[in-house]
């Protein structure tokens, strides 16, 4: 996913320093006449200086993904944490700076061309550097915002958006990560307390099927924390099916009634998706408990073992 490849956005000073450094390294101009040689060299300096700045700003703008072509999952994910409108605004500010740089350059370039005295040329040049650098520095906030955005985006899970996907949902501590591990062999952290998993965990079955451990309790959307939002969006946009994990032992800390409530909410919210039930911790449950639960939810697809579940979900 190209999202992870956004360039680091530096402070404007860094670009300015680089531009100055490069401009001083310009090629020697081979002209006999000392004065015209010096003039050509100064012209070369401001051109290199402008080119470097223009280039750096351009690279930043270009390295952000184009939001039109972005997968809806990532689009809404970005929107949920940064707001795409703000990002657009700041990026177009950079584009504006880029244009403004060209305008300033044309102006100062022709002023240098029309000047003979080297002392005057130097002072025009200095003014050019001053104006361009204050142009960039005035937009310090833009650079900072973009760098923060890059960091946020970089930390997004690198979920594949083009392959069959199933999400594992359920209350904290019910055994979601344990199931992910059993299904896919993913190396995941499993702990006997709630909220162990703090990001979306990914596992794959034969590169054909992506399984995402989506932690969180599916609060109302605007009350969700960042991970819960990511989980919600993954289910909404990517999941073809959802495996809902029930812990009938209640050792997870959530009563069966609560778990049923959440299950119903999930079914209600994602009516078009198949919701498969997995009963975890059946090794420490009485068979009667399992049986009466299966009878209670007799219209649902229920699995008590990971092997048959895996066979059921794996595409042929």
Ligand X SMILES: Nc1nc2c(ncn2[C@@H]2O[C@H](COP(=O)(O)OP(=O)(O)OP(=O)(O)O)[C@@H](O)[C@H]2O)c(=O)[nH]1
Written in H, E and C, the secondary structure of 146-168 is HHHHHHHHHCCCCCCCCCEEEEE
Q: How many angstroms separate the CA atoms of 202 and 216, rounded?
A: 15
Distances (CA, A) of 62 to 12, 141, 164, 219: 17, 19, 30, 37
CB nearer to ligand X: pick between 103 and 284? 284
Q: What is the DSSP letter of 77?
A: H
Taking the least distance from each CB to Mg ion, the nearer of 149 and 197 is 197
Judged by beta carbon distances under 5 to 8 A according to partner kind, the member of Mg ion, ligand X, none in contact with residue 194 is ligand X
230 part of the interface to Mg ion, by CB under 5 A: no
Bridge partners (DSSP) listed for residue 211:
166, 203
For 175: left if phi > 0, alpha if psi spans -120 to 50, otherwise beta; the answer is left
Binding of residue 214 to Mg ion (CB under 5 A): no
Picked from Mg ion, ligand X, none, the partner binding residue 192 (CB below 5 to 8 A depending on kind) is ligand X
Please say which residue, 56 or 213, places its beta carbon nearer to Mg ion.
213
Distance between CA atoms of residues 229 and 308, nearest Å: 30
Among the listed residues 133, 197, 249, 280, the single contact to Mg ion using CB under 5 A: 197
Say whether residue 282 binds Mg ion (CB under 5 A): no
In whole angstroms, give the CA distance from residue 75 to residue 1.
13
The H or E element that residue 72 is part of is helix 72-81
Phi/psi of residue 219, each to 5°? -60, 180
Paired tokens of 120: 């005057």
Site size for Mg ion, by CB under 5 A?
3
Q: Which is nearer to ligand X, 165 or 177 (CB)?
A: 177
Cα(223)–Cα(200) distance, integer angstroms:
18
**Does residue 50 interact with ligand X by CB under 6 A?**
no
Among residues 34, 68, 284, 288, the one that binds ligand X under rule CB under 6 A: 284
Could you say which of 196, 199, 226, 289 contacts ligand X (CB under 6 A)?
196
Q: Specify the residue, 6 or 174, whose C-beta has the smaller distance to ligand X.
A: 174
Partner from ligand X, Mg ion, none contacting 178, C-beta within 5 to 8 A by type: ligand X
Q: Which is nearer to Mg ion, 173 or 282 (CB)?
A: 173
Determine if 194 is a binding residue for ligand X (CB under 6 A): yes
Query: Which parts of this chain interact with Mg ion (CB under 5 A)?
Result: 177, 196-197
Query: Which parts of this chain interact with ligand X (CB under 6 A)?
Result: 172-178, 190-192, 194-197, 215, 280-281, 283-284
């Amino acid at each position: 996913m190209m999202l992870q490849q956004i360039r680091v956005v530096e402070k404007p000073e860094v670009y300015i320093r680089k531009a100055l450094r490069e401009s001083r390294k310009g090629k020697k101009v081979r002209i006999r006449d000392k004065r015209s040689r010096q003039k050509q060299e100064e012209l070369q300096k401001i051109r290199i200086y402008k080119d470097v700045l223009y280039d750096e700003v351009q690279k930043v703008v270009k390295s952000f993904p184009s939001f039109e072509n972005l997968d809806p999952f990532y689009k809404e994910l970005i929107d949920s944490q940064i707001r795409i409108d703000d990002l657009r605004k700041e990026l177009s500010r950079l584009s504006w700076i880029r244009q403004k740089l060209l305008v300033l350059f044309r102006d100062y370039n022709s002023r240098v061309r029309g000047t003979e005295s080297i002392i005057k040329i130097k002072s025009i040049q200095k003014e050019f550097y001053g104006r361009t650098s204050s142009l960039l520095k005035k937009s310090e906030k833009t650079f900072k915002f973009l760098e923060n955005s890059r960091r946020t985006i970089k930390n997004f899970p690198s979920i594949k958006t083009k392959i069959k996907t199933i999400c594992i949902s359920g209350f904290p501590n019910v055994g979601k990560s344990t199931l992910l591990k059993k299904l896919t062999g993913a190396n995941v952290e499993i702990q006997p307390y709630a909220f162990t998993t703090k990001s979306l965990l990914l596992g794959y079955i034969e590169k054909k099927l992506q399984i995402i451990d989506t932690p969180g309790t599916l609060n109302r959307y605007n009350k969700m924390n960042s991970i819960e939002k990511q989980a919600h969006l993954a289910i909404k946009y990517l999941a073809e099916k959802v495996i809902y994990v029930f812990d009938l032992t209640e050792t997870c800390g959530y009563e069966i009634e609560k778990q049923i409530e959440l299950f119903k909410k999930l079914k209600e919210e994602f009516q078009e998706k198949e919701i498969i039930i997995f009963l975890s911790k059946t090794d420490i449950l009485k068979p009667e408990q399992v049986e009466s639960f299966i009878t209670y939810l007799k219209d649902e697809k229920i699995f008590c073992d990971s092997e048959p579940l895996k066979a059921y979900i794996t595409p042929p």
